[in-house]
Amino acid sequence: MRRASSPGADGLSWAGFRSGLRERLEELAEQLRDGTWQPGPLRASHVVAYTGKRIDTVIPTVRDRVVHRAMRRAIEPVLDASALAPWVSGFRRGRNRLTSVRQAAAHLDQGRTWVVDVDVQQASAGATTDEVIDWLAEHVYDGTFLARVRTALNVLPDPIAPGCGLSPLLINLRLSQVDAKVNGFSAVRFADNYCLFTSSRHEADAAYDALTEALATVGLHAHPDKSRIRPSAHAEDLFLISG
């Protein structure tokens, strides 16, 4: 808990939360057990992305961030085992951009040099809380736990709102449904960027159509300015932060 991130709307910092930590955690655990826990107010904020784009975010209270982290740590192993393909990296422990680059290089070395490079437009937008809970219920069967997650999401302006500690995991959960539909292709996904590797333009066109159709099933689309079919590519040029 030695973090320097901003306090929430209640003004309580991580340092302040550490004061009386045992009692705070015991009280929080009891509220989570008996169902009386309610999230605190959110503080609106924004970040400026590497590309200069402004992204509106929310900042939960430190207390709620503890809950979000606990939920995420409980869910991550379940999704790793049952939902996320081995070719998916980003928002996962031990898997990062370099993992994706190495997997991409292996496909290119095997002659699959036509690359369907698709950046998902607004991967965190457009979902409802009911949808998110339904997605999660396919892998998590504890009704009490799902009820607590619903409580956490109900106060957010969007259930996958940037800034919430659950947002990265829920993006992966949402896209795991797309992953299942394109699992037959030579695919690599880093965060919300897909690359499908094919041997010809004809195969690439078919792969692009399959991916965009799969995205549509969860209300998502390919970013028109960042998505394309590449006749050739170097692995290091894929999955760049700037898109």
Mean pLDDT by 10-residue block, N- to C-terminus, for the chain (243 residues)?
A: 76 91 96 96 80 80 95 96 95 93 97 97 94 96 97 94 92 97 96 97 98 96 96 92 55
Q: What pTM does this model have?
A: 0.91
Instruction: Give the Cα separation of 180 and 176 in Å (integer).
Output: 6
Instruction: Give the Cα separation of 122 and 80 in Å (integer).
Output: 23
**E strand or H helix that includes residue 149:** helix 143-154
Residue 55: per-residue pLDDT: 79
Task: Say if CB 149 and CB 71 are below 8 A apart.
Answer: yes
Residue 56: per-residue pLDDT: 83
β partners of residue 118:
194
* Strands (E) located in 17-139: 43-48, 54-59, 88-89, 114-121
Residue 50: per-residue pLDDT: 59
Amino acid at 26: E
CA dihedral over 25, 29, 31, 37, signed as positive or negative: positive
Residue 72: per-residue pLDDT: 96
Q: What φ, ψ does residue 218 adopt, rounded to 5°?
A: -115, 25
In the block, residue with structure tokens 């692995």: 235
